[in-house]
Amino acid sequence: MASLGSALLLATFVVCSYAAVVSVAGARRRSRRLVESGIGAFYLIAALMIAASAVMINAFLTNDYSIKYVVHYSDSVQPLFYKITSYWGGLDGSIMFWVFLLSIFGSIAVYVNRERHRELVPYVIATISVVQMFFLYLMIVHRNPFTTYLRAAPAEGDGLNPLLQNVYMAIHPPSLYTGFVGMTIPFAFGIAALVTGHLDDSWLRAVRRWTMFSWLFLSFGLTLGMIWAYEELGWGGYWAWDPVENAGLLPWFTATAFLHSVMVQERRSMLRVWNVTLVIVTFFLTIFGTFMTRSGVVQSVHAFGDDPVLAKLFTGFMILILVFSFSLVVWRLPLLKARNELDSWLSREAAFMVNNWILLFAALFVLFGTMFPTLSEAVTGERLTVAGAFFNKWMAPVGLVLLLLTGVGPLLAWRRSTIGNLVDSFLWPVAAGVAAWAVSLAFRIPLWPSGLCFALCGLVVGTVVQEFWRGARVRRKNTGTDLLTALVGLVGRNKRRYGGYIVHVGIVLIFFGFAGNAKKLDEQVLLHVGQEAKIGRYTIRNNGIKVSDDGQKQMTTAYLAVFVDGKEIDGLYPARWAYRRHEQEPTTEVAIRRTPAEDLYAVLGGFDLADQSATLQLVVNPLVNWIWVGFGVMALGTGIALLPERSFAFALAKMPAEAVTTTIAMLLLVLVAGARPASAQPGMGGSEDTRSSYYARTPFEKQMQHEIVCTCGACGHQTLAECRKDACSTSHQMRGELAAMIDQGKGHDEIIQAFLAKYGSEEMLGAPVDKGFNRMAWLFPYLIGATSAIAVAFIAVKWTRKSDAEAVAAAPLDATIAGRIDDELRDLD
């Protein structure tokens, strides 16, 4: 079976090169035979990859331990579902899975567009085939998933990493991959348009859907990653600016920018160079993200190992992409020149430009922050850490400005807004924003950043509601129906616009959830049997610890009772699972009590079976569920925007019922999937030693624990307060040192100096010290911000100047044709 798999991969490589060469030759010689054969070969790639994947899954399901990959990522006791997901559990398989997805998506894209964009298709095929060839080359020469043992094969596999044995983790990578891979399609169409010179808006229409689709899956993947981090890693939070998370976020920013700026090109035929550039950059960032996470360039919780060869190959490929695509852009610049004019800063297109600027700034900043440790190591030879606090400091204002634009943008008119219509359209949204702020004041929420966030959420919701309301009113007047029908018809007629507004509501809910962080409570306690601890309005009692075993793993569960106002309302069962063959890294099974207002979150940090005591991390996370709900709303909005043009009649009839059921189903799914506390069968036996865990005794110690990060390298630079794995002796030791220093009465700066002296580098500081080369880290964001702002302003001023020069002389139409246009317009609705 293994040799069959290898042979299939080799054959795919050959077919890829054939498809690329034949398509380009066919397009240049205008030979239908060659082009058709290229299309056939392109489908053949997909067929071959399906066959290869079938071979791979077959190997996993039949426990074929002669294949190294199967041994590393599976064992015989693993459930069937995780055996299948092991396919993409490791590096080699994930590359193969990448090619598999790309071949399928590519085939669909070519099949759909082969008539509509005949002149583009050969080059699309060539581009995608070359990308596939790169990944196939990686597999064939360097990382063949079908590598076998030369001598006797082991009798049993190592098993999938227990952290990955989680439903979210099983679907998180494919979803993220779908997003990543999907971005190749717009790139291929962009390149094809550049090569053929068909640079009108038609290629954009071919890729808009694909970008939206990929964007949706990228968002879905990121959300799943957040849920996974929240539930499985036991951080107490959902986003830690880990390099792997950032890798997914980077193309998300640029894709979002593209989805917005595309509208400007459609409406005003501006920003054409910019749109091509965004497509290229987005694709580049997907490759870069893969490179970052797979080659060991950055340290992360789930970076997949050091691999210098892979790093070199990827670097070469990335340089090739950049040089090739941007030379094409430069070559086609004369064709991309558009009639650019910006009439006013108070216009929708100006808002879009600012939105693009902010999104790009965010992407560059995250890229920079993620790569800074590597850069600094290359320049100064000293590895340091850029942790969550540094990102949060910068990204909070960026996010808020984006949120503001979400509210303001739709209210501005194209070209220019007059004072009159500004007052008219801003009145209600601003009122809603002020009301939201007042409510947040009533809850004693500080203005920065959470209070402001609530106010902006109010503004955006006000905007969206007003847009729907006014749109429906206009439509009711035009069509003479009742308001509800008009509303549905409105969404059906302008799926993209109103789908987009629904996405905005989803974004608001997500920000609403983020803002809840202001009231987050975090406590660490050691509880003996019968002891109680208070957090927020909850009282937690330890009822004892039990151990059980299900053959695959040993489960230690703490039984906690939750009281509110003296009444027992619920039980929480946080656990630690030690998998066979992975005893060194027990997984934390978080127990969460979910309510719309807040989550009570308990992590079993350590335990002593002898006296049944448990060290617990207790967190109250307000509003956190709204993030997941927000994603559901976003998915709904994107789904509406993605509905095909023809589904209008169908949508008109069925939309409300469907939308309601989908939302309810999604909400239920999210809540039910999350609400199950760790199940545990009571049992006895087993023991484990515990260590005292240096939980913070004073606020000062707590602050210091949050400021210094663990250097063990396995936890993704969590702070000392967060890195509580049993296996992590580093953080334990560091906490001990910290506690000793505090006992000696040392102050903040003294302690930092002592740590710097002891560890010889700044790796354990959450953010680089502001001096020398590291000053770069603090200066750079200002630098990019300022440069790009100047660039945007410059372009805008340039465009403003030449606005009057080219007035369009709209030739008067002859009466018959004008009549026909009016007729068709009437029939169109």
Partner 1 sequence: MSSAISTEKDRAAADRAGLEPWQFFLLAALGCATAVTFLARGEGPTAIILLSVLMGAAALVGYAALRAVRPLVLPDEERTMIVGQRTRAALEREKLLALRSIKELEFDRAMGRLSEEDFSEMSGRLRARAARLIKELDAGAGYREQIETDLAQRLGARAAEKHVAAPVCAACKTANDHDAKFCKSCGQPLGR
Q: Applying CB under 8 A, which residues contact partner 1?
A: 4, 15, 18-19, 27, 30-41, 43-44, 46-48, 50-51, 54-55, 57-58, 61-62, 80, 115-116, 118-119, 196, 198, 202, 205, 413-416, 418, 421, 424-425, 470-471, 474-475, 477-478, 494, 808, 810-811, 813, 817-818, 820-821, 824-825, 828-829
In angstroms, give the least distance from the CB of 354 to partner 1.
18
Give the largest CA-CA distance in the chain. 95
> Please, which residue, 200 or 770, has the CB nearer to partner 1?
200
> Please, which residue, 179 or 471, has the CB nearer to partner 1?
471
Q: What's the token pair of residue 816? A: 């018959």
> Please, which residue, 407 or 630, has the CB nearer to partner 1?
407
> Please, which residue, 348 or 725, has the CB nearer to partner 1?
348
Residues 6 or more apart whose Cβ sits within 8 Å of residue 399: 511, 514
In angstroms, give the least distance from the CB of 350 to partner 1.
14
Angle between helix 495-515 and helix 483-493 axes, rounded to 10 deg: 100
- 3-class SS of residue 259: helix
Q: What's the token pair of residue 409? A: 């943008």
> Please, which residue, 103 or 261, has the CB nearer to partner 1?
103
Taking the C-alpha atoms of 411, 413, 419 and 425 in order, what is their torsion angle to the nearest 10 degrees?
Answer: -30
In angstroms, give the least distance from the CB of 808 to partner 1.
6
- Between CA 410 and CA 425 the distance in angstroms is 10
Inter-CA distances, 699 with 522, 617, 667, 753, Å: 12, 16, 38, 20
> Please, which residue, 127 or 690, has the CB nearer to partner 1?
127
> Please, which residue, 5 or 586, has the CB nearer to partner 1?
5
**For 415-421, which contacts have Cβ atoms below 8 Å and span 24 or more sequence positions?**
415/268, 415/343, 415/344, 415/347, 415/348, 415/349, 416/343, 416/344, 416/346, 416/347, 417/344, 417/346, 417/347
The residue among 724, 729, 693, 722 whose CA lies nearest residue 707 is 722
User: 377: number of CA atoms within 13 Å, CB side?
Assistant: 13
In angstroms, give the least distance from the CB of 40 to partner 1.
3
In angstroms, give the least distance from the CB of 413 to partner 1.
4
Q: Strand pairing partners for 588?
A: 576
> Please, which residue, 757 or 811, has the CB nearer to partner 1?
811
The residue among 691, 704, 690 whose CA lies nearest residue 743 is 704
In angstroms, give the least distance from the CB of 645 to partner 1.
9
Q: What's the token pair of residue 470? A: 């006014």
In angstroms, give the least distance from the CB of 188 to partner 1.
18
> Please, which residue, 315 or 800, has the CB nearer to partner 1?
800
Inter-CA distances, 213 with 32, 105, 208, 564, Å: 31, 11, 9, 45
Contact of 71 with 155, CB cutoff 8 Å: no
Residues 6 or more apart whose Cβ sits within 8 Å of residue 345: 796
- Between CA 407 and CA 396 the distance in angstroms is 17
> Please, which residue, 27 or 634, has the CB nearer to partner 1?
27
| Strand order across the beta sheet in which 591-594 lies | 521-527, 613-622, 598-608, 591-594
Judged on CB neighbours under 10 Å (0-12, 13-18, 19+), 552 is middle
- Between CA 204 and CA 209 the distance in angstroms is 9
In angstroms, give the least distance from the CB of 401 to partner 1.
23
In angstroms, give the least distance from the CB of 349 to partner 1.
12
Contact of 722 with 236, CB cutoff 8 Å: yes
- Between CA 61 and CA 57 the distance in angstroms is 6
- Read off φ and ψ for residue 602, nearest 5 degrees: -125, 130
> Please, which residue, 34 or 739, has the CB nearer to partner 1?
34
- Between CA 506 and CA 500 the distance in angstroms is 10
> Please, which residue, 4 or 742, has the CB nearer to partner 1?
4
> Please, which residue, 684 or 825, has the CB nearer to partner 1?
825
Contact of 617 with 536, CB cutoff 8 Å: no
In angstroms, give the least distance from the CB of 276 to partner 1.
20
In angstroms, give the least distance from the CB of 829 to partner 1.
7
> Please, which residue, 117 or 553, has the CB nearer to partner 1?
117
- Between CA 640 and CA 500 the distance in angstroms is 9
> Please, which residue, 10 or 50, has the CB nearer to partner 1?
50
In angstroms, give the least distance from the CB of 402 to partner 1.
22
Residue 799 CA, distance from chain mean position: 35
DSSP count for the chain of H helices, then E strands: 26, 10
In angstroms, give the least distance from the CB of 405 to partner 1.
17
In angstroms, give the least distance from the CB of 269 to partner 1.
10
In angstroms, give the least distance from the CB of 409 to partner 1.
12
